Chain A
Amino acid sequence: MNKLHIAFAVIVSLSASLWAAKPSNASFPDLVAVKGGAPDQMFMVGIRSLGGMERFIKKGQTVLVKPNIGWNKPPEMGATTSPELVSKIIRMAYEAGAKEVWVFDHSVEPEALSQQTSGIGKAVKDSKGLLFPAENEADYREVKIPKAKLLKQAKVHRRFLDADVVINVPVLKDHAGSGITAGMKNLMGVVWDRRFWHREGLHQCIADFPLLRKVDLTVIDAFRVMFKRGPQGISKDDLREEKIQILSTDMLLADAASARVLGAEPASFKSLKLATEFGYGSIDLDKKKIVRISMPQ
């Protein structure tokens, strides 16, 4: 052996070690579920098991955090995403190197009121996120979804289309129309014309829409779950404090786990069942690698 052989061996070993040290997606769980903490604490714990924010965000990228700001209700009514969870995700996104963190939702009620009452407006401002308006049709772009069965085209908010990374942060609720609102239904808040979905076929449109763009991370806020009379809720009797949070790169899988939290089989919800036909996700919880973390009380 001469110096050339030694140098070659060292280089090959070093490269192999570096390659081995970089985590491959195959080694992460498909779904992480956390129970028993506050929403922001559960996120910190959960995201670590999923590879940390660095797995999803590279330095200098724009990140969209899409919570549910649909209703002019305070956080304790469970109709909107917990503001402290939104705030924590935005802060950790910046820590991971995001250039800008965007937030918006096309609210059902007036957005200024909804942003204020839900506490999310202040949460975004305090964590230096950028909250964008969504009540102007000019902010939406017409896009085509060729593989869709019903939703062949839609006007979609440009911040959803243009962001480098999309983090979907729904609040888990019963829903009068679709049965459940979790990750997939939360995406309805990025389109202009919701009436089209109700008119043409609600479940199929919900299943169609994710074909447009893969959501990088779904975080289901099941801290305070609305079990009946969703999506608005009429009284606190409609809520149960479950203190659960579900994180996954497979939005459909996260929705399947959410269905179980509501006490139902995933396939009993038409939108979930229709979505399995496209192959972008799975509802087979039994076949997936799930990490369950109970936080100390």
Chain B
Amino acid sequence: MIRLLRFAVQVVFFVVALLFFLRVLNNEGFREIFTSLHLFPGLIRNHGESAWLWLTVAMLFLPVLAGRLYCSFLCPVGFIQDLVSDISARLKLPRRPAITSLRFPVFSLAACLVLLLADSGFVGYVDHFSHFGRLVDLFRSRFSLSGWLTVLFIISIAVLPFLWPRWFCTVLCPSGALHGLLNQVSFLRFRSKGSCGKCKKCTVNCPTQCIRNGQVDHAFCVTCFECLEGCSRGSFRLAFGPRAGREPFSHGRREFIRIGSAATAGMAFGGTLRVLALSPDVKNVHTVLPPGSLTAGHLFSRCTSCNLCMIACPTHVISPAGLENGLAGFLKPKMNYDRGFCTYECRRCLEVCPTRALHPYPLEEKKRTKMGTAEINEKLCIPFVSPKDCVACAETCPTGAVHVSRHLGVGQPHIKKELCIGCGACQFACPVIPLKAIIVRAERVQGVAAPPEQKSHHGQGHRYRHGRSASEFPF
């Protein structure tokens, strides 16, 4: 019964997660709740902003009260691994728990927490929320640079678990690591009492293979109740209560030293990475970044590269960077004005960003945010080098920054820099090949552009004749 219930809940949450990432379930309240449920991005999103921080923190107490229900009932990444585990059991493959003695997940969690406190988005490369986002983007866009990391992710959840069940959960997932730690002091326990017939059904059924000699290692137990279901003699019981926590596996000085060394090593590793390779070196960032990034440092320190902004963008201008922005910017968003442009009356990326790495400006402020400034190369621009009219750039400029002045019978574009917001509409529209005649140079700090001129004498309006009578036709 519980097995069926758990399966049903897992399916529902898998579909809910899919609909969230595909922006089908898109209302603001739902987005707040859904992102705050997860440790990452919840902690990054809500730290400093207390409105939903309580939810993220409350989720941390869930394992103490009720074990790892989050991992076993809710998490879609766990769901995929459980399906694999099911197939693996049917194929009777030799399943072993992943290396437990080094307490890898504590390592990963500690590294992430250190990096988090030191303001870095490294957590995005291991946390399950961001992985799931990149997975959805992979299928939606058929290929992107973040696809390579996602292939590794797919291997960790759909290939490795054939032999090492829930490999991702036990080795990499920082949420899983934290939940596993808290599970050590959980009120919920699985115990084998009295009439155990040593049939090993519990051991075989367990999706994380955490039962040894009829005893559950609660560091890896995901509270899935499979052992209860499998036990034919009803010998496996649920124990609940504050005194349930005495464990054969989790005590003693050796264990304490293991956890302590793993945590220390994790913090050292994280700190070293932060100093050597992942420090967001903003001096070398030349690419235009999405609106709301403020600076490269702000973006890279909060963004977990979940790809939600890329999924949401209606022109597909937001793309994952390679190494051009350094290791700190790897797979994080940048604007690609060869693929698209930032359409004016839109703020979808700001709406969906789960960590507020893209600051959620209201639309009117986003329309004044200066991501960059356009520059014309008069050696390439058609009306400068030939007597032909073009000005595709002026056509598509939403703020009137690119305006046209006539020279020898041909309209030539010029830029009013203070009006330009660097949206890339001009660069995208420019027909010159192979190099564009107008390109946007990034602003290192995204400032505020001047408001578009409400009244202007530019354009052809001078021909309009005032004072025609209501019935007069001009032909």
Stretch in A3-11, A13-21, A49-57, A173-181 with 4+ CB within 8 Å of B? A173-181
Across the interface, do B459 and A177 meet the contact criterion of CB distance under 8 Å? Answer: no
Among B344, B396, B458, B463, find the residue whose CB has the most chain A CB atoms closer than 10 A. Answer: B463
Q: Mark B393-405, 1 if CB is under 8 A from A, else 0.
A: 0111111100010
CA A33 to CA B473, docked complex, whole Å: 8
Across the two chains, which residue of chain B brings its CB closest to A225?
B464
User: In the bound complex, how far is the Cα of B452 from the Cα of A73, in angstroms?
Assistant: 16
Chain A neighbourhood of B473, CB < 8 A: 33, 35, 244, 292
B345 touches A117 (CB 8 A): yes
**B458 touches which of A179, A198, A229 (Cβ 8 Å):** A229
- Minimum CB–CB distance from B220 to chain A (whole Å) comes to 46
A235's contact among B404, B455, B471, B474, by CB below 8 Å, is which? B455
B454–A176 contact, CB under 8 A?
A: no
**Interface flag for B49 (CB, 8 Å):** no
Residue A133 interfacial (CB < 8 Å): no
Question: Complex: how many Å from CA A261 to CA B463?
Answer: 10
User: A176-B411, A202-B389 are contacts. A229–B345 as well, Cβ < 8 Å?
Assistant: no
Q: How far is the CB of B447 from chain A (nearest CB, A)?
A: 21
In the complex, residue of chain B having the shortest beta-carbon distance to the beta carbon of A262: B463
Minimum CB–CB distance for A230 against chain B, Å: 7
Of A72, A177, A201, A294, most B-chain CB atoms within 10 Å: A177
SS class, residues of chain B in contact with chain A:
loop
Contact with A along B141-181 (1 / 0, CB 8 A): 00000000000000000000000000000000000000000
Contact of A199 with B404 in the complex, beta carbons under 8 Å = no
Question: Which residue of B314, B429, B458, B474 contacts A261 across the interface (Cβ within 8 Å)?
Answer: B474
A162 at the interface (CB under 8 A from B): no
Interface string of B434-449 (1 = CB under 8 A from A): 0000000000000000
Residues of A within 8 A of B470 (CB): 35-36, 294, 297
Q: Which residue on chain A has the smallest CB distance to residue B402?
A: A176
Question: With contacts A199-B431, A199-B433, A294-B471 known, is A176 near B394, CB below 8 A?
Answer: yes
Of the listed residues A112, A232, A240, the one surrounded by the most CB atoms of chain B closer than 10 A to its CB is A232
Residue-wise, chain A 200-241 has the 8 Å CB interface mask toward B (1 for contact) of 011100000000000000000000000111111011011010
A110 in contact with B315 (CB, 8 Å): yes
Q: Is there an interface contact between A72 and B461, defined as CB atoms closer than 8 Å?
A: no
Contact of B390 among A33, A174, A177 (CB under 8 A): A177
* Distance A230 CA – B463 CA, assembled complex (angstroms): 14
What is the CB-to-nearest-CB distance from B59 to chain A, in angstroms, rounded to a whole number? 35
| A238: contacting residue among B392, B395, B429, B459, CB under 8 A | B459
When chains A and B are docked, how far (Å) is the Cα of A291 from the Cα of B456?
Answer: 35
Which residues of chain B come closer than 8 Å to A231, judged between CB atoms? 395
B391 partner residues in chain A, CB cutoff 8 A: 176-177
User: A202: nearest residue on chain B (CB-CB)?
Assistant: B389
Q: B432 within 8 Å of A by Cβ?
A: yes
Query: Which residues of chain B are near A130, meaning CB under 8 Å?
Result: none
Query: Out of B346, B432, B454, B460, which one reaches A227, CB within 8 Å?
Result: B460
What is the distance, in angstroms, from B156's C-beta to the closest C-beta of chain A? 35
Q: Could you tell me if A264 and B463 are in contact, using CB atoms closer than 8 angstroms?
A: yes
Contact: A234 with B400, CB < 8 Å? yes
CB of B96 within 8 A of chain A? no
Q: In the docked arrangement, what's the CA distance between A73 and B390, Å?
A: 23
Q: Are B475 and A228 in contact (CB under 8 A)?
A: no
- State the Cβ distance, A70 to closest chain B Cβ, in Å: 10
Chain B's nearest CB lies how many Å from the CB of A279? 21
Most-contacted residue by chain A among B411, B455, B470, B473 (CB, 10 A): B473
